[in-house]
């Protein structure tokens, strides 16, 4: 009797996992990139086996950047500003503790 009850509890606890639907592939008509869509409303980029995003023109070894040079410069500039602000905060804390 205990074994039947234990097996029933184990199977009942696995039921929600079996109820999940499989994600489906959706291709953005504007960019042509593929994404995984879940029935729960989640979205994630789809990657090829070689780790490259499933987008037209994104081939491994071709040197196609995933981020533009201008965007990279902007990110570097913002990162520098953030580090400067953090440095100023640390200096203010250090001066306050003196």
Is the domain of 58 the same as that of 27? yes
What are the two backbone dihedrals, phi and then psi, of residue 64, each rounded to the nearest 5 degrees? -75, 115
78, two tokens: 């913002």
Number of domain units in the chain: 2
Is the domain of 58 the same as that of 73? no
Is the domain of 95 the same as that of 73? yes
What are the two backbone dihedrals, phi and then psi, of residue 44, each rounded to the nearest 5 degrees? -150, 145
Residue 82: inside a domain, yes or no? yes
Is the domain of 50 the same as that of 27? yes
Is the domain of 25 the same as that of 61? yes
User: Which H or E element spans position 95?
Assistant: helix 69-97
Q: What percent of the chain has pLDDT over 90?
A: 28
Residue 16: inside a domain, yes or no? no
Please state the rounded mean pLDDT for residues 77-85. 92
Of residues 26 and 64, the one with the higher pLDDT is 26
User: Which H or E element spans position 37?
Assistant: strand 34-37
Domain that holds residue 56: 21-65
CA distance 50 to 79: 30
Residue 49: inside a domain, yes or no? yes
| pLDDT(31) > 90 | no
């Amino acid at each position: 009797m205990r074994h039947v009850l234990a097996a029933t509890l184990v199977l009942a606890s696995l039921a929600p996992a079996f109820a999940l639907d499989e994600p489906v592939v959706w291709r953005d008509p504007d960019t042509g990139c593929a994404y995984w869509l879940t029935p729960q409303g989640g979205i994630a980029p789809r990657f090829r086996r070689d780790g490259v995003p499933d987008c037209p023109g994104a081939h491994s070894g071709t040197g196609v950047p995933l981020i533009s040079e201008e965007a990279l410069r902007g990110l570097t500039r913002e990162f520098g500003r953030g580090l400067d602000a953090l440095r100023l905060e640390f200096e203010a804390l250090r001066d306050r503790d003196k």
